[in-house]
Structure 1
Amino acid sequence: MFHMPRTASASPERVAETFKDELARVDLDELPLQQGMTRGSVALGDDLSAMVIRTESTDGRVRVHAGLFFSSLVAGCACANDPTPENEDAEYIEAVFDIDRPDGATTVTLSESSQ
């Protein structure tokens, strides 16, 4: 669990923008990138970006359904004579972020479309 307090307190019209800004500061290990990958074996977060698909707000919670774009790598043995090139592949998953109000405690799960 991590915290997104600014998204939790954002007005409905600012949730998407605030969410993307706060997501850029989240530790990548907190996100289900590794679990949702389809091509690689190691998730890379250097180029993580998000597309907000839908938001729902209630008095107690903000729910953000987002598409996450990132890269993955099929890691070789890293031997000097390993003929396997280490190419990055584009990855996409959809995740649901449940953000509690007022403290911003956040849980994230893969959406059913990414499982």
Structure 2
Amino acid sequence: MFYLNASTEAWNSDSFNDTLKEEIRSIDPEQLPLQQGLAHSNFAIGDNVCATILHSEEIDGEIRIRAGLFYTGIITGCSCADDPTPIDENNEYCEVLFCIDRKTARTSVSLIE
């Protein structure tokens, strides 16, 4: 759990999507389900998470946002000195659901499969 205060304050304004994207960029990547969303790698790199907002709505005092997250991952090798496997970053994408409590800004995020 984390708090998206600025996004909660910007809800129903023209700046909501931009504010939310900026806050998502500032979230500790360990709090996002990036590892679970991997499709082409086996280790998520959360250095440059970029979000696209797919849908947002308010239901029963909760702001629900469906977002696509773009990030990178790597395929890890055995880390042996003579391992010829190059460490290349692969583009990754997953869709998540952010649920923001309208009163407290407390936010949960889950992977949409």
Normalising by the residue count of structure 1, what TM-score does the alignment of the two structures yield? 0.90
Q: Quick one: which amino acid aligns to residue 93 of structure 1?
A: C
Aligned to 2:71: 70
Q: Which runs of 5+ in 2 are unaligned?
A: none
CA contact (8 A) 1:32 1:109 kept: yes
Q: Quick one: which amino acid aligns to residue 110 of structure 2?
A: T
Q: Deviations over 1:26-68 (max 9, x none)?
A: 1101100000101111100122100001111246121111000
Matches within 5 A, 1:23-62: 23-58=24-59, 60-62=61-63
Q: Quick one: which amino acid aligns to residue 29 of structure 1?
A: E
Aligned to 2:5: 5
Instruction: Quote the RMSD (CA, aligned, Å).
Output: 1.3
Q: CA deviation at 1:101?
A: 1.4
CA contact (8 A) 1:53 1:67 kept: yes
Secondary structure, aligned partner of 1:93: strand
C-alpha separation in 2, matches of 1:24 and 1:91: 16
Q: Which runs of 5+ in 1 are unaligned?
A: none
Aligned to 1:21: 22
C-alpha separation in 2, matches of 1:110 and 1:59: 21
Q: CA deviation at 1:79?
A: 2.1
CA contact (8 A) 1:59 1:101 kept: no
Report the structure, 1 or 2, having the larger helix content.
Answer: 1
Aligned sequence identity (%): 39
Q: Quick one: which amino acid aligns to residue 15 of structure 1?
A: F
Q: Quick one: which amino acid aligns to residue 8 of structure 1?
A: T
C-alpha separation in 2, matches of 1:102 and 1:74: 41
Q: Quick one: which amino acid aligns to residue 70 of structure 1?
A: Y
CA contact (8 A) 2:29 2:47 kept: no
Q: CA deviation at 1:11?
A: 3.3
C-alpha separation in 1, matches of 2:63 and 2:10: 9
Normalising by the residue count of structure 2, what TM-score does the alignment of the two structures yield? 0.92
